[in-house]
Structures are given as C-alpha cells and as structure tokens.
C-alpha cells in the first residue's frame, strides 16, 4: 500500500501520445535544486517502476510546475547515473537518491548561538513535511570547516516559544536533532559505523525498567540543502540527553545525572580540581542534567572522582563495581579500543547515572576520529597500543572482581559475532559501496571541490581494522592468562613496592630461574628477562605504575 501511494502521489507517471511520452511527476519537497551547481537531487521510491524506458521517444520529469526533458533517454533510471535534463531556460544534472532529502531556508545568518528561526522541509519514503525550526552552528574546531554541523530545534511557530516533537524512521520522537557534517572524515562512514556499532554492542543495564532507553545516539544518512545550496551528505543524529538515556528526573533532589566531557582533567581522572559548586563547568565537564534551572551541584561527581583517584587499593577493588556499571565499563573499554578513538577517553564522553544509588556509566559521542583517523582527518596509523584514562589504569592494575577474565571472555564472545573480522569489514565495505555506487562521493566533490575521495582510503581502513583486531586478540589473550590465584598470592611478593632501583622477589620456593616481564598500563612490554637471583633492576623505568609478571603471575608495581 505504501509503495502504491508513493507512486501515485510522488512519482506519478502518465503516458501520452499513444505511449510515446512518459512524464514522471515529483512532488514538492521530494526534490531540491541548486542552480549555482546546476544540479537537482530527487528522492525516489520504487525506482524499479522505471526499469524499461526503451519504448519511449520522450521522457519528461515534472518538478512540481517545472518540466524538464531528458536530453538522452536512458534505458532505465538508476541511482548510479546522472542525467542531463533541459527546459526552455536552463539545463540541470539530475541525481536520484534513496536517502532522505532535507532543505533549510533562513533569512538570517546561521551562527554559533543563539538559534535563529528557519524553515525546514523533509522527505523520505514514509513522510513529507515542513516545519518551523531554530538552527545554530554546532561544534568546536568544526566551526571553521567549510561544511558546517547544525543543531536543530523544531518549533510550533516562528517564535520558538513552544517546541514540537518529530520522528525520523525508527529513531526517537523529539524536538532536538543534530545534522553532523562529517567533513573531516574522508570516507564519510566512520561516525555512522561507530555510533551504530555502539548501539549493537551495549544495552543499558536498566533496560527492563526503561525499555525506551538507548545507550547512545542513533544516526541516519540524509542529503542537505541550505538556502538553496547543496551541502552534501550528513548524519541526522539523535541527541545524548536525559530523554535518550531515560534518566530519572529531578524532583527537588538529584536523581539522574548527566555530565559531558569537553576537555581533559577530572574527566580522565587525572586530577581533582577544587570544587566550584555554582559553576557550569568543572574539571573538563559540563553539567547536562540536572540543568542550571534546577541545580548546579558538582558534589556528587566530585565525590565519585575523588573515590576513583584517591581511594585505597583495597576499597577500590572491593567497591568499584558498586560505583560504576561493570557491564558498561567492559563494553566501553572494548569499544574505545576497537575504534582506538583517541579523543574519547574523557573529552568526547558522557558520564551518567540512572537514579540515586545506582552506578555511573559511559556514553560515547563525536566518533569521527576513529578507525585509524585523528580528529582533524589525518591518518593515525597506530594499531598496537591500548587507550585508557586514570580510572581504567586502576581497574587494569587492580583487577577488581576478576575483571581481566571477564573482559577477555567478552572480547572472545564479540569476536565470534559483532567483531568477527569478516562481519566488521563487510560493515565498512557495504556502507562504502552504498555511498560510492549512489554517487554520494561524487556529489560531495561537487558541493566541496576541496574534497577528494581517495581510492586508498578504503584499503587503509580495512587494513587498519585487520591489524587492530590482531593486536587486540593478543592483548586480551595476555589479559586472560593473567588470572590471580590464591596460591600465587600467598607465595610471590615484590618488595619494596613502591620501588626505586631494585625490586626483590619473595617466594616460598626460592629455587630455579624466575621469568620476569614488565608491562606498562597500555599493554606494552618494557622488560623481559630471566632472573637467577631474587631481585631485578628497575632503574630504567620512569615513575609510573606497571604490571610485573613473575612466572606468569601479575603483580602491580609502582616506581617512585
């Protein structure tokens, strides 16, 4: 029924002159024209209706009231071709798209705050609508890119006094949306794949209580026009907010909490700045919920950060999974390191709490600097290191709740499903092929002449993923082999600890050669030797925390 309605209303075709002329009618808002580029992009559903045009002497496309004739009649219409069409005044290149089309029109300059009034039209296979919106630029460094990212708020009228909720596809119904420009990512797919991969990996642990809760933002590709200019492909993205996570609302007391990491500091558990109760920013965080209308209380987050940094090893080991969701930590650590998203250890991360007396958990955002790419779009061809922050360093070193065995098993499980090599590579290849075969890379180059879709970009990311998976297999295999046992704990000790020059090994059985391996907290091996006497030198090590394997038994060692 939907297809029939789409054909009748959006792509109605009539046959004239005894079947020698076909007229394809495209409804308003289901196409957009950029006269400066000489292109028209038309949303098309049921393209197979036009799979045989050989019998027509003329094919006309009617864009609302403007009729154009195909200069050369195609055998069939395709997403992978462009077509020259002409009317009495001009010629355009016609592109057909299977992606939703968005057009935004504003009489004022769009700026980085405040939101200015504008009109938006949206068309996909299920809905066509227009609305008032407020729009502003979004981002930090991306504000200076030629292709802008936008923050949208849907309004009931042009004043913005009342908002309205809208829904796109299977995403949530809400008034607040993001149009992510993807400008610094040459393949235009890393952010899409990363966001959807996280949703596949992690489900909120409180989903039984809150079935509408999501663990992150869902995204959908769209094509965008702004004030009659084609600006390319975008991710239409949900927001990370209280509603997305279904956090408990403020009721005079703080229940659900949400903090956004925007810079380094307390957000990476590297420092504990002085408490500033009334500020909207602290230690690299912004308060997102409760907002300033309710309270600007940092005491709960300060207390948690103080606990992570300053609690004793015993207290941390015994209680950390009461303060932070273990399942979320494990999934996020795997996700962070699979992508090697270097900005997402504290800066591009949300820290949240569902309700009073429930643990904190992580939510990622801004994921374009991933899969071998830096935030600025440059290749970062590093596959053999582990990303951590101060919190993760303590977990790795102390192994609370037999963490190492649990995460190694989780990694093994994902390697047979979501993170299977072929499955992950095919995920990348299928998105790339869709963007390429539908001429979306070609249209990006039209909108942004400085954009070049390099043929080496796809082999680079595929090779990077394979090498990264190989390294992580080795890392988690090492992790799984380092399971403490009561017997080992009783018979092996290192002293002094902290140490400076020499470290002595205390064993019940002092006979035989001792094999020593020293790793930093990123998993890099720094020393490997056989010890005949019961000590070894650590003079070459800097003042940090390490994991020392004594005959395959791990012990945390601090060098002062």
| 317 and 456 housed in the same domain | yes
pLDDT of residue 521: 63
Tell whether the model's pLDDT for residue 544 goes beyond 90. no
Q: What is the mean pLDDT of residues 316-341?
A: 97
pLDDT band of 69, cuts 50, 70, 90: very high
Flag whether pLDDT at 29 surpasses 80: yes
- 524 pLDDT above the threshold of 90: no
% of the chain residues with pLDDT over 90: 67
Question: Looking at the structure, do residues 107 and 58 belong to the same domain, yes or no?
Answer: no
- What integer pLDDT is reported at residue 510 of this predicted model? 60
**Distance between CA 76 and CA 343 in Å, rounded?**
46
pLDDT at 511 (0 to 100): 60
**Mean of pLDDT values over 171-200:** 96
Contacts of 540 (CB under 8 A, 6+ apart): 527
* 522 pLDDT higher than 50: yes
Q: Is the pLDDT of residue 58 over 50?
A: yes
Contact 354, 206 (CB under 8 A): yes
Mean pLDDT of 378-396: 93
pLDDT at 83 over 50: yes
Give the C-alpha separation, 327 to 410, whole Å.
10
447 and 545 housed in the same domain: no
Domain count, the chain: 4
Q: Mean pLDDT over residues 254-260, rounded?
A: 94
- Are 291 and 171 within one domain? no
| Residue 202 within a domain | no
Q: What is the pLDDT of residues 270-281, one digit of tens each?
A: 899 998 767 778
Residue 386 maps to a domain: yes
Residues 104 and 125: beta-carbon distance below 8 Å = no
Residues 530 and 505 in one domain: yes
* Same-domain status, 357 and 297: yes
Model confidence at 229, pLDDT cuts 50, 70, 90, reads very high
Residue 203 lies in a domain: no
- pLDDT value of position 354: 97
Among 41-55, 94-108, 159-173, 286-300, name the one with the lowest average pLDDT: 286-300
Q: Structure tokens of 89?
A: 């005044």
CATH number of the CATH domain containing 448? 1.10.1070
- Give, for 319, the enclosing helix (H) or strand (E): helix 313-323
Indicate the pTM of the whole model.
0.83
Q: Is residue 188 part of a domain?
A: no
d(CA 126, CA 6): 8
Alpha-carbon distances of 173 from 164, 168, 193, 212, 237, rounded to whole Å: 9, 8, 22, 11, 12
Domain end call among 458, 481, 504: 481
- Evaluate if residue 3 carries a pLDDT over 80: no
What is the reported pLDDT for 291? 78
What integer is the mean pLDDT of 81-105? 96
- Indicate the residue among 463, 481, 499 that finishes a domain: 481
If asked whether residues 40 and 105 sit together in one domain, one would say: no
Specify the pLDDT at position 231: 97
| Spatial contact of 426 and 418, defined as CB atoms under 8 Å apart | no
pLDDT digits (tens, 9 = 90+) for 451-493: 987 778 999 999 999 999 999 998 888 776 654 433 334 457 8
| Cβ atoms of residues 367 and 412 within 8 Å | no
Integer-rounded Cα Rg, in Å, for the chain is 28
248 belongs to a structural domain:
no
Q: How confident is the model at residue 10 (pLDDT cuts 50, 70, 90)?
A: very low
What is the rounded average pLDDT of the residues 329-352?
96
Same domain, 231 and 87: no
Residues 494 and 557 sit within 8 Å (Cβ to Cβ): yes
pLDDT > 90? residue 376 = no
User: In the prediction, which pLDDT does 488 show?
Assistant: 39
Mean pLDDT over 347-361 rounds to 96
> Looking at residues 191-209, what average pLDDT do you find?
97
The confidence score (pLDDT) of residue 275 equals 84
Walk across the sheet containing 281-282 and list its strands.
281-282, 285-289, 257-261, 349-353, 360-364
Per-residue pLDDT of 138-147, as tens digits, reads: 988 888 899 9
**Residue 19 confidence (pLDDT) above 70:** no
pLDDT at 329 (0 to 100): 98
Domain of residue 29, residue span: 2-97
Interatomic CA distance for residues 106 and 399, integer angstroms: 55
pLDDT computed for residue 221 by the predictor = 98
**Secondary element (H or E) of residue 471:** helix 457-481
């Amino acid at each position: 029924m939907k297809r029939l309605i789409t054909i009748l209303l959006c792509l109605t075709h009539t046959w004239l002159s005894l079947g020698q002329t076909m007229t394809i009618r495209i409804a308003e808002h289901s196409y957009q024209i950029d006269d400066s580029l000489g292109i028209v992009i038309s949303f098309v559903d049921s393209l197979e209706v036009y799979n045989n045009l050989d019998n027509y002497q003329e094919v006309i496309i009617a864009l609302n009231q403007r009729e154009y004739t195909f200069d050369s009649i195609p055998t069939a219409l395709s997403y992978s071709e462009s077509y020259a069409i002409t009317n009495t005044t001009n010629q355009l290149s016609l592109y057909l798209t299977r992606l939703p089309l968005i057009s935004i029109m504003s009489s004022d300059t769009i700026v980085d705050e405040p939101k200015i009034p504008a009109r938006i039209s949206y068309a996909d296979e299920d809905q066509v609508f227009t609305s008032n919106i407020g729009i502003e630029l979004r981002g930090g460094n991306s504000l200076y890119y030629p292709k802008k990212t936008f923050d949208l708020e849907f309004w009931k009228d042009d004043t913005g006094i009342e908002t309205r909720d809208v829904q796109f596809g299977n995403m949530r119904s809400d008034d607040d949306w993001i149009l992510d420009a993807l400008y610094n990512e040459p393949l235009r797919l890393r952010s899409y794949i990363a966001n959807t991969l996280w949703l596949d990996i992690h489900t909120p642990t409180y989903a039984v209580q809150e079935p509408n809760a999501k663990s992150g933002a869902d995204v959908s590709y769209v094509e965008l026009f702004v004030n009659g200019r084609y600006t390319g492909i975008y991710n239409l993205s949900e927001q990370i907010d209280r509603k997305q996570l279904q956090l408990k609302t403020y009721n005079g007391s703080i229940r659900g909490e949400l903090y956004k990491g925007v810079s380094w500091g307390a957000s990476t558990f590297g420092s504990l700045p002085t408490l500033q109760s009334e500020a909207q920013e602290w230690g690299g965080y912004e308060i997102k919920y409760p907002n300033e209308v309710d309270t600007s209380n940092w005491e709960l987050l300060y207390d948690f950060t103080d606990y992570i940094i300053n609690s004793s090893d015993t207290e941390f080991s015994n209680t950390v999974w009461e303060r932070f969701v273990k399942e979320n930590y494990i999934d996020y650590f795997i996700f962070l390191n699979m992508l090697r998203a270097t900005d997402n250890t504290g800066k591009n991360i949300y820290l949240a709490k569902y309700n009073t007396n429930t643990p904190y958990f992580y939510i990622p955002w801004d994921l374009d600097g991933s899969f071998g790419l830096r935030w600025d779009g440059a290749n970062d061809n590093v596959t053999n290191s582990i990303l951590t922050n101060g919190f993760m360093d303590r977990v790795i070193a102390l192994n609370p709740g037999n963490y190492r065995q649990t995460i190694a098993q989780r990694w093994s499980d994902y390697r047979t499903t979501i993170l299977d090599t072929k499955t992950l590579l095919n995920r990348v290849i299928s998105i790339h092929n869709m963007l390429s075969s539908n001429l979306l890379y070609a249209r990006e180059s039209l909108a942004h002449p400085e954009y070049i879709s390099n043929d080496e970009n796809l082999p680079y990311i595929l090779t990077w993923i394979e090498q990264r998976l190989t390294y992580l297999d080795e890392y988690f295999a090492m992790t799984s082999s380092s399971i403490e046992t009561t017997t080992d704990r009783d018979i092996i000790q290192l002293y002094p600890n902290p140490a400076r020059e020499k470290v002595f090994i205390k064993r019940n059985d002092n006979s035989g050669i001792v094999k020593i391996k020293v790793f930093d907290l990123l998993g890099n091996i720094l020393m490997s030797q056989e010890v005949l006497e019961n000590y070894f030198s650590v003079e070459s090590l800097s003042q940090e925390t390490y994991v020392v394997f004594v005959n395959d038994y791990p012990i945390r060692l601090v060098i002062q």
